[in-house]
Amino acid sequence: MSRYSPWALFTWTPIMLGLLFAGGSDPAPAQTSQPAPPKLREVQWTHAFDLACRKYGEDNITKDTQRFGVEAFKDNNNGLGLYICQTGSIAVAHGFATLKSPLANSEGPKWLTGLDLPARKAGEKTFSNDTKAHSLEIFLDPNTDNWLYITEKGNIASTGARSKASSNTAAPKWVHGVDLSVRKGGVKEWPGAAKFGVEVYRDGNTGNLIYVCGETGTVAVTPESTPVKGDAKAPEWLHGLDLRCRKHDEKAFNSGTRKLGVEVFHDSVTGHYLFISETGSIAVAPAPANVRAPTVNVKDPRFTHGLNVKARKYRESNFSDQTEMFGIEVFRDENVGVTLYVCETGAIAATLPK
């Protein structure tokens, strides 16, 4: 099982870094109103995987390679599928609407390849030997026809498998890199905002784009829906969101409920919306061609429902009272029409409705 690293690419290709520094004159994040939660439909467990991911420098997957437990649920409130790793990282995807729960004869994950993706931290202008490389593995969930990416830190991402994987395993190709500023929840001004570096790669094995955060190693994936432009233009800031997320044992929203700051950008180089939270978690979704920045007359995100789901650790055979539970809230960003899932860990995931 081989691993492909793009380090050689940077020996021969000039690095173009798009930097985005948000100014203090930008509008404040939209404030999230919290109506009474609507009546919940059942969230059903469908299947589960134990996914291996090699650490950087580990050439082959062996019995000693670290593994993570990943659960899959069907959210009957919207027909979407939710993947959650034992680490509290989440991913949302389609392909679950017609699944029977639980799956009587679920198929195991199909490993495709592994990648090493160097990702610079904010302010790191060039790639060097000190740049952190984040290792990840790519699997296909044959039950839903979704790609599943998992990193050595247990961060996950998913997207639909629109076409078959390439028969010739390919190294990733770097597209561009940016620095993004993110305010904390409830903070209106930009001074003191956290900064994160994000790299974008083209995965020739699946036809997907991979976004990876240099500071946290979180990833987001999406099909390359439009040809990537050959420039290094920085994403345009659209608006900010404050998303409240209850802990799993927190029954109602209150003054102490965590408020997570999320910034929304338009990456015109790839044609996608890019979401990043104050924790450095990232998510992406396809964007139309005529996006205007910044967003005019920002609307509050619409809260749709909340969930509590359990995620077993690797080698934890059955759900029990000791199995860790995570609180998750679901919102719709009415400004861009994207559904956002937010976990109490600060992880986010996004998708467009079908």
- pLDDT tens across 95-123, in order? 999 998 899 899 999 999 999 999 999 99
Q: Which residues of 310-330 are buried (b: 16+ CB within 10 A; e: fewer)?
A: bbbeeebeeeeeeebebbbbb
**pLDDT at position 3, please?**
44
pLDDT tens for each residue of 297-325: 999 999 999 999 999 999 999 999 999 99
What are the angstrom distances between the C-alpha of 237 and each of 79, 285, 292?
30, 15, 10
SS3 call for 203: strand
**pLDDT at position 27, please?**
47
Q: Where are the beta strands (DSSP E) in 152-224?
A: 156-160, 173-182, 194-203, 208-213, 219-223
**Which of the four pLDDT bands, split at 50, 70 and 90, describes residue 328?**
very high
Indicate the pairing of strand 338-343 with strand 348-351: antiparallel
Q: Is the peptide bond before 102 cis (omega within 30 degrees of 0)?
A: yes
- The answer on pLDDT for 11 being more than 60 is no
Tokens read off for 82: 């939710």
- The answer on pLDDT for 15 being more than 90 is no
pLDDT tens for each residue of 58-100: 999 999 999 999 999 999 999 999 999 999 999 999 999 999 8
Distance CA 285, CA 7 (A): 27
Distance CA 329, CA 348 (A): 10
pTM for the complete prediction? 0.90
pLDDT tens for each residue of 242-289: 999 999 999 999 999 999 999 999 999 999 999 999 999 999 999 998
For the chain, give the number of residues: 354
Residue 336's Cβ-count burial label (10 Å; 0-12, 13-18, 19+) is buried
**pLDDT at position 10, please?**
36
Lowest mean pLDDT among 38-52, 65-79, 222-236, 312-326: 222-236
Beta-bridged to residue 47, according to DSSP, are 72
Distance CA 196, CA 279 (A): 9
Tokens read off for 41: 């439909």
Domain that holds residue 30: 3-351
- The answer on pLDDT for 26 being more than 50 is no
Tokens read off for 115: 């990648």
Number of structural domains (the chain) is 1
Distance CA 336, CA 354 (A): 14
Span between the terminal Cα atoms of the chain, in Å: 35
Q: What is the average pLDDT across 25-43? A: 59
**pLDDT at position 321, please?**
96
**Which of the four pLDDT bands, split at 50, 70 and 90, describes residue 165?**
confident
Within a 10 A sphere around the Cβ of 108, how many other Cβ atoms? 12
- The answer on pLDDT for 207 being more than 80 is yes
Element (H, E) at 10: helix 7-12
Q: Given strand 156-160, what is the order of strands in its sheet?
A: 3-4, 110-118, 133-141, 146-151, 156-160
Tokens read off for 23: 């100014």
- Which single residue is written with the structure tokens 């209850």? 246
SS (H, E, C) 256-267: CCEEEEEEEEEE
Percent of the chain with pLDDT over 90: 80
- Cβ-Cβ contacts under 8 Å for 7 (sequence gap 6 or more): 116, 118, 133
**Which of the four pLDDT bands, split at 50, 70 and 90, describes residue 21?**
very low
More confident: 29 or 324: 324
Indicate the pairing of strand 236-245 with strand 219-223: unpaired
